[in-house]
Amino acid sequence: MKIVINRDKLMESIQHVTKAISSKTAIPILAGLKIQATHNGITLTGSNSDITIESFIPVEEEGIQFIDEIEQGEIIVHAKYFPEIIRKLPSPTVQINVDEQLQITIQSGHAEFHLNGQDAEEYPQMSQIQTDTHFELPINLLKNMIKQTVFAVSTSETRPILTGVNLKVEEEQLHFIATDSHRLAASKIPLQDVINNFPFDQVVIPGKSLNELSKILDDTEDKIQISISENQIAFQNNHLYFLSRLLDGKYPETSRLIPEESKTVIHADTKTLLQAVDRASLLAKDNHNNVIRLQTKDQEIVEISSNSPEIGKVEEEITVAKMNGEELKISFSSKYMIDALKIMETEQVKIEFTGAMRPFIIKPIDHDQILQLILPVRTY
């Protein structure tokens, strides 16, 4: 195998696929990175038992030449040393040669490295997903839905199903839902292509997979194809193939958590509220839940406060755009509130409370495509 390729383009692909490679794998060959050269270009593959990422570099695209010379072949390279070498090469072009003994020579400028490779035949065959269930989404929409939900997945393995985001299709809308049982984040969008008879009750994608996918994808309006089978989901565009396993188990029914009615409603400036909660959290860091308190006052005034007996206390009053309903004092995690407000895309948010010990919801003021729910904290 022989490749003469643009170093930066190669490095970009390496960074994508190494997100799927773990040194702690039970299958030693998966600690390596697979390079496959054909006359069309080169494909890099990284995999662990949960995720497989393939990145394709064409010989040329839109008049830009990425690969100057190519001879077919395939090899497994060391996923720790190979990326470090490519990153630090002196010249914008790199030549990679592989001989019969699987010895890899990497040349760039006056630098020359020799690495031992492994036989690509031993690398597990990556099966393309077999399914009739697929649809397309603009990449920026998908990234938004991930951003609006994935932070709320559970980090504890006691209920593994909650470490994932639940994808479901209902009434021609695509829903992403995440909960760690103390808060819930939901995002929905109307589907352009109607998926008739979506065959799955639920699809739960590991939060880690979605985080990695989101990092790799550029913010564009280009479409990405999503294909779903019984136990896998694939995201595919021209140059990327991202395959993840799905989580087993039954995702809890979350719709009943969302209150039907509210007793106190506040319309607040998102940024003002976020900054006030952030300041109050400064003295709440040491108590174990970062608990702060919100109390309604007269004339559209809301007090945000935090009290930590060993450190001190903070109180701040903010004026909200609108407030109606019953008086309210409620305590909750400042971290959850900050996370929820950060992903809101509107200048104002609407917060609906059903009492001091009931979950409350936060929504953008002008649409219902994002919903955040937070459980209060009992304070004595």
Q: Using an 8 Å Cβ cutoff, are 185 and 166 in contact?
A: no
Q: How far from chain centre, in Å, is Cα 207?
A: 6
Q: Using an 8 Å Cβ cutoff, are 274 and 369 in contact?
A: no
Q: How many CB atoms lie within 10 A of CB 53?
A: 27
In the numeric block, the tokens 């174990």 are attached to 288
**What DSSP string runs through 127-160?**
PPP--SEEEEEEHHHHHHHHHHHGGGS---TTSG
- The whole-number pLDDT of residue 192 equals 76
Q: Using an 8 Å Cβ cutoff, are 247 and 163 in contact?
A: yes
Q: Using an 8 Å Cβ cutoff, are 102 and 114 in contact?
A: no
One-letter amino acid at 226 equals I
- The whole-number pLDDT of residue 172 equals 86
Return the structure tokens found at 102. 């699987």
Output the pTM of the full model.
0.93
Q: Which domains does the chain have, with CATH numbers?
A: 2-122 (3.10.150.10), 133-174+189-255 (3.10.150.10), 258-374 (3.70.10.10)
The pLDDT tens digits for 191-240 are: 877 676 788 888 999 999 999 999 999 999 999 999 999 899 999 998 99
Q: Which residues of the chain have pLDDT under 70?
A: 194, 196, 286-289, 380
